[in-house]
Structure 1
């Protein structure tokens, strides 16, 4: 299977998971704040940390796994383009406090979640100096 097919299959699954998350958070919290987008970015960051650690420490010749899981599945699941749109909409509505919390929280929590995932992967799979 060519690399593009791994990315496409993973992307379809990731986008579907993102849709399910978005519908679930909309039902749970209502439409007043982009909870689904923020949750996808934080969860995606955490999972990317685990994936990067696992691939670096335990899997050799991991190109197809990286394409399917990292580029496809997590690329389709995380939503930075939707994040950007949500931020601009908050700006246009002059919701500056919500905008600051959303942008700062998304970036800081996503990076923190990736770091926690990487630390967890290193503890479970072994230690390494580099990420990939």
Structure 2
């Protein structure tokens, strides 16, 4: 049986239809409301619904760290986190740490010291390092 998303109240939904939820997340200082399924990971919400693709999907098991973002200044693996849980929290992705023409001190240190490899994991490494500094 295939599942379809609807945007009606739960009491009107057919048994085989999963209602989408309106979820408001504060990402990089901006409140953004999206319609997502209840099981949508924070990683997928960021990448697929908000087009914030700096956070990467690596292992999708919470082991590689490519999906690391900061929530209230602490690092989490966004692939293991349900997006709905993080309403009311401050989420910061690599895009929120600095700008292309104004890197954060940590980002600049990575550039100055060639502290990256292919670049795929670098956003997660920088967010993890920032979380460590915050802690």
Q: TM-score, normalised by structure 2?
A: 0.27
Q: Specify which structure has the higher proportion of strand.
A: 2
Q: TM-score, normalised by structure 1?
A: 0.27
Structure ranking higher on relative contact order (CA contacts 8 Å, 6+ apart):
1
